[in-house]
A and B are shown apart, each in its own frame.
Chain A
């Protein structure tokens, strides 16, 4: 009796579960055709995981990656994806766990620390475990004037990974998307490319394709964007090592509309990235003229003579609905992380999309149930991120708070030990290594607030009062170690 009762309840639970789960009538079958527009990390990761997961359940799929650019052939904009080129600490770890180790021929430089530059001084913050956990890469071949580089393109490496899994790369530009009998049909300048069972858009935020998709009537809305500034300086490998070492250099300067600026050392070059709500030539000029920035470069180096520069846009608003029947939008053209770790967000949304398509189905409802939660989680965290960056901006505005942050971080770095609260908060904000929610919660802990208050009084307020009395205040003092090491 007991076993019969157990069996009945098990069957009952299964039936309830089945009735609750809508069974999709749109699924990927043996031989289904999948089009992936864009061969950047989002498109390549999606194709790689889709083929890997499909193999586990015994389905052979035909995956076409439509990417006209040759990442490893042309230098400059022709092969570039307009990005700072940082593979975050958390993504490096997740990829290694997946069995994907980034080859050293792709890593221009392993980053082991960052140096925070402010008008009140500098401080170096080491990685929590004192190891190189961030990869500085070039998405394409490199800047316009690059010659005989020993490093290769990150995007080419991920695309090759997808190709090795069985995806086919077609060097074709997609200029039109139409829906015939509910199936996506793609066309290019030379005519129809083909009809597919599933369309995955991973064309990034700087492509015209998002407007084509918007006008195709599938419900997609192009995301809100802001302009950024990226430029490359050629210094040579030795000079890069001498001036910047294996550290990312972050600048917190009181310049209007500037959220964040960083110089990332690569092989023979350094990449300058500026993020904010209104980046223009005037702001770039103010930044390049700042003594904190010029002090990082060799004397007499002309910061207005770059090897390559662009003002690409980034997604700061999400898309509302990055899916539909037989449609997925991933990476920067869908939902991505605010300001940081765009490649990490591409990996997350690509994998969530591949998992949903293989195990759940390819209808709008399937994606809403199993793909959208991953995107929604990023969107909610971005809302918290906006608050974190707004607070950080306020702290940058007054000298007393900048001194407080500097003092607290320097003390933590000098003392060592486990109480690296400000250091880890700043590390995670600037490297994108932790969710913004986690960073915010850490700053609300009583011990963090108590130490912040103590440093505000001792290092910020008291220092200001003392120097007002003596008139001995120096705008750019260096209390810590020499830079860079």
Chain B
């Protein structure tokens, strides 16, 4: 971490959010990579990797559920926290701010649909 950067630095494999914890913010990756994983029956299943400019934890903005997965740094990563309150207040003033979130969430649904279809095809 230099002095000319923003956010918080995480070391390799350091968790940023933990599955099952309550959450009230989302995160934007400023530098580096993170991996998203779920604990299933005591086994770690890696769901995805995200890189600079990507965001995660956005479900906590819209639902009052606990975090659905653990996110940890893959190598050294720097991540900026986005407050739920600040963001929702601003979205109320300027709904177009949510476009970027909706666009990314739409991409993720499309990707999940594709993976689900491939999975179903493989098992038939």
A interface residues, Cβ below 8 angstroms from B:
53, 90, 92-94, 96-99, 101-102, 104-105, 107-110, 129-133, 135, 151, 241, 246, 267, 348, 351-352, 355, 374, 377, 434
Q: When A94-B97, A96-B80, A377-B93 are in contact, do A132 and B5 touch as well, CB less than 8 Å?
A: yes
- Measured CA separation A374–B97 after assembly (Å): 14
Q: 5 shortest A-B CB distances, which residue pairs? A: A131-B8, A96-B28, A104-B4, A107-B4, A104-B5
- Measured CA separation A132–B93 after assembly (Å): 25
Task: Assess the B5–A97 pair: CB atoms within 8 A.
Answer: no
Task: Assess the B4–A151 pair: CB atoms within 8 A.
Answer: yes
Q: Which residues of A contact B101 (CB under 8 A)?
A: 97
Name B's interface SS: mixed
- Most A Cβ at <10 Å: residue of B2, B6, B82: B6
Task: Assess the A96–B82 pair: CB atoms within 8 A.
Answer: yes
Q: Which residues of A contact B87 (CB under 8 A)?
A: 93-94, 97
Nearest to B97 among chain A residues (CB) is A97
Q: How many residues of B contact A (CB 8 A)?
A: 26
Q: Which residues of B contact A108 (CB under 8 A)?
A: 4
Nearest to A128 among chain B residues (CB) is B83
Identify A97's interface contact among B4, B82, B93, CB under 8 A: B82
- Measured CA separation A110–B4 after assembly (Å): 5
Q: Which residues of B contact A105 (CB under 8 A)?
A: 4
Bitwise, B26-56 to A at CB < 8 A (1) or not (0) is 0010110000000000000000000011010
B117: CB under 8 A from chain A?
no
- Measured CA separation A434–B8 after assembly (Å): 21
- Most B Cβ at <10 Å: residue of A92, A97, A98, A131: A97
CB distance from A159 to the nearest CB of B (A): 20
Task: Assess the A92–B4 pair: CB atoms within 8 A.
Answer: no
Q: Which residues of A contact B96 (CB under 8 A)?
A: 53, 351, 355
- Measured CA separation A94–B97 after assembly (Å): 8
Q: When A92-B80, A129-B8 are in contact, do A352 and B3 touch as well, CB less than 8 Å?
A: no
B86: CB under 8 A from chain A?
yes
CB distance from B54 to the nearest CB of A (A): 10
- Measured CA separation A92–B93 after assembly (Å): 17
- Most B Cβ at <10 Å: residue of A99, A105, A129, A348: A99
Nearest to B28 among chain A residues (CB) is A96
Task: Assess the A135–B93 pair: CB atoms within 8 A.
Answer: no
Q: Which residues of B contact A132 (CB under 8 A)?
A: 5-8
- Measured CA separation A98–B104 after assembly (Å): 11
Q: Which residues of B contact A94 (CB under 8 A)?
A: 86-87, 90, 97
CB distance from B2 to the nearest CB of A (A): 7
Task: Assess the B97–A110 pair: CB atoms within 8 A.
Answer: no
B121: CB under 8 A from chain A?
no
B19: CB under 8 A from chain A?
no
Q: Which residues of B contact A377 (CB under 8 A)?
A: 93
Q: When A99-B53, A355-B94 are in contact, do A90 and B6 touch as well, CB less than 8 Å?
A: no
Known: A92-B6, A97-B97, A104-B5. 13 other contacts (CB 8 A): A90-B86, A90-B90, A96-B82, A97-B82, A99-B53, A107-B5, A131-B6, A131-B80, A133-B81, A267-B3, A267-B4, A351-B94, A374-B94
Identify B3's interface contact among A90, A129, A130, A246, CB under 8 A: A246
Task: Assess the B5–A110 pair: CB atoms within 8 A.
Answer: yes
- Measured CA separation A374–B95 after assembly (Å): 13
Task: Assess the B7–A352 pair: CB atoms within 8 A.
Answer: no
- Measured CA separation A218–B65 after assembly (Å): 53
Nearest to B3 among chain A residues (CB) is A109
Q: When A97-B100, A99-B53 are in contact, do A133 and B6 touch as well, CB less than 8 Å?
A: yes
Nearest to A105 among chain B residues (CB) is B4
CB distance from A427 to the nearest CB of B (A): 13
Identify A104's interface contact among B2, B80, B90, CB under 8 A: B2
CB distance from B62 to the nearest CB of A (A): 14
Nearest to A265 among chain B residues (CB) is B3
CB distance from A432 to the nearest CB of B (A): 13
- A-B CB contact pairs (8 Å), 6 listed: A96-B55, A96-B82, A97-B55, A97-B100, A110-B7, A133-B81
Q: Which residues of A contact B81 (CB under 8 A)?
A: 129, 131, 133
Q: Which residues of A contact B97 (CB under 8 A)?
A: 94, 97-98
CB distance from A148 to the nearest CB of B (A): 16
Task: Assess the A101–B28 pair: CB atoms within 8 A.
Answer: yes
- Measured CA separation A105–B5 after assembly (Å): 9
Task: Assess the B53–A101 pair: CB atoms within 8 A.
Answer: yes
Q: Which residues of B contact A434 (CB under 8 A)?
A: 86
CB distance from A438 to the nearest CB of B (A): 9
CB distance from A12 to the nearest CB of B (A): 26
Nearest to A438 among chain B residues (CB) is B89
- Measured CA separation A241–B100 after assembly (Å): 37
Task: Assess the A241–B3 pair: CB atoms within 8 A.
Answer: yes
- Measured CA separation A96–B81 after assembly (Å): 10
- Measured CA separation A434–B6 after assembly (Å): 19
- Measured CA separation A133–B78 after assembly (Å): 12
Task: Assess the B30–A101 pair: CB atoms within 8 A.
Answer: yes
CB distance from B58 to the nearest CB of A (A): 10
Q: Which residues of A contact B4 (CB under 8 A)?
A: 104-105, 107-110, 151, 267
Q: When A53-B96, A99-B100, A355-B94 are in contact, do A93 and B3 touch as well, CB less than 8 Å?
A: no
CB distance from A354 to the nearest CB of B (A): 9
